[in-house]
Amino acid sequence: MHVNSESILSVSSLTKSVQVEDKTLTLLQPLNLTVAAGESIAIVGSSGSGKTTLLSILAGLDLPSSGEVYLKNQPLHQFNEEQRSQVRAQHVGFIFQQFLLINSLTALENVMLPAELANLPDAQARGEALLEQVGLADRLDHYPSQLSGGEQQRVAIARAFISKPDILFADEPTGNLDSKTGQHITDLIFDLNAKEGTTLVLVTHDPKLAARCQRQVEMDSGILNEKASAVVAESVDVESTSANDVTPETSTSQVG
């Protein structure tokens, strides 16, 4: 097994299957993937292709059935829940499609949470600064329910960056937003990413969003394929017209 010192995330022979009643359902066929530090990579694919499953294993939320996952040289596949928690606290940031803010905490408190969990100093000052950067300086004490969808996702972005994660996982970050707000959020993610030098792993089926990443891989029925950048760029033009029509439908399908 090679561990590339340059890579922040490396996966080899990873599979995932689940038991549904008597049958074994294979979600991920054996796959390999290496992500270099500072790289931005998009995992694209249709619903049910296994891209979200892959993301949850890469981020240490779930375990593979077989194979190895190294994040910052740490063997996640050998770690238990507690150890993986620690890795997440130290190295990982998240942005979710449903924003997933804690309703009973204010915007600022939500942003501060990962910094507190990672025992970082100045959580409050950093939180305030980040909220200002995402344009919510006047919304520090608002609760999630008092914010619009776009605003909530901006809080989530601020939260994702507060602990200066080495790697940021974003799961359909614009999936629940209209295209204009989505565009704005995308800009924010990539700006902050560039500024902080964070590695970005993005799961989406929005080709336009995927196209902004340096690299794209495609999931299809649990099989991972590397996509050539040029091909991707082409397909963006073809699909971009229909992308907006698809968005509302896909967003409702993921509620719940």
Partner 1 sequence: MIAVNQKKSSMWLAQSLRLLHHELRRGELTIIFLAIVLAVATVFSLTGFSGQIKHAIVANSTNTIGADRVLRLSTEVDKSFIDKSQAMSLNHARKIETESMAFAGDNMLLSEIDAVSETYPLRGELRIKTALTQENSVVVNAPKVGTVWVEPSVLSRLDVNIGDIIEIGVAPLTIAGIVTDIPDRSYRAFIAGPTVILNIADMPKTELIQPGSRMTYKYLFAGETDDIEAFEDWVKPQINEAQRWYDAKAAQNRLSRILDTAEKFLSLASMLGIVLAAVAVAVASRRYGQRHQSTVSIFKAMGASISHVKKLYCLHWTLLSCLSIATGLAVGYGLMLLGVNAIASYLSLADAPLTFTPFLTAVFTGLLCAVAFAIHPISVLVNSSPLSVIRGFSQQKVARFGWHQVPPLLALFILLFLFSQDAIMSAALLFGGIVVSFILLLFGRGLMSAGRSVGTKAGKSWHLALANLKRRASENSVQLVSFTIAIKLLLLITVMKSSILSEWEQQFPEDTPNHYLINISEHEIQPLQQFVDENNVANQGFYKVYRGRLAAINGEKTIREEDDSEQEQEQEQEQNAESASTEKSTEKSTEEKTEQSAGRRGAGRELGLTWRDELSPGNEVIEGQWWQLDDTKPQVSIESSMAERLEIALGDSLTFTLGSDEFTVPVTSIRKVNWQSRQLNFIMVFNRSVLEQYPTTAISAWSVSDQDRDMVYRFMANYPTVTLMDFAAIMAQLNNIIEQVSVAIQLILILVVLAGSLVLIAQVQASMEERERELAILRTLGARGKLLRNSVLYEFVALGAIAGLMASIGMEIAVYILQSQVFEMAGSFHFQYWLVGIGAGALFVGLIGMLSCWRLLNLSSVTLIRRTM
Q: Does 128 bind partner 1 (CB under 8 A)?
A: no
Q: Which is nearer to partner 1, 92 or 232 (CB)?
A: 92
Minimum separation from the CB atom of position 236 to partner 1 (A) = 26
Q: Which is nearer to partner 1, 81 or 245 (CB)?
A: 81
The two three-digit tokens of residue 90, written as one number: 């130290």
Minimum separation from the CB atom of position 219 to partner 1 (A) = 14
Q: Does 103 bind partner 1 (CB under 8 A)?
A: yes
Please classify residue 86 by burial: count the beta carbons closer than 10 Å to its beta carbon, then call 0-12 exposed, 13-18 middle and 19+ buried: middle
Q: Does 102 bind partner 1 (CB under 8 A)?
A: yes
Distances (CA, A) of 223 to 49, 90, 160, 216: 8, 30, 29, 14
The two three-digit tokens of residue 239, written as one number: 């699909």
Contact range with partner 1 by CB under 8 A, out of 21-29, 110-118, 129-137, 183-191 = 110-118
Minimum separation from the CB atom of position 39 to partner 1 (A) = 22
Q: Which helix (H) or strand (E) holds 110?
A: helix 107-117
Q: Does 152 bind partner 1 (CB under 8 A)?
A: no
Beta strands in 21-100 (DSSP E): 23-36, 40-44, 66-71, 74-75, 92-95
**Cα end-to-end span (Å), the chain:** 39
Site for partner 1 in 206-245 (CB under 8 A): none
Binding interface with partner 1 (CB under 8 A): 52, 55-56, 59, 61-62, 81-82, 85-90, 92, 94, 96, 100-106, 109, 113-114, 116-119, 171, 252, 254-256
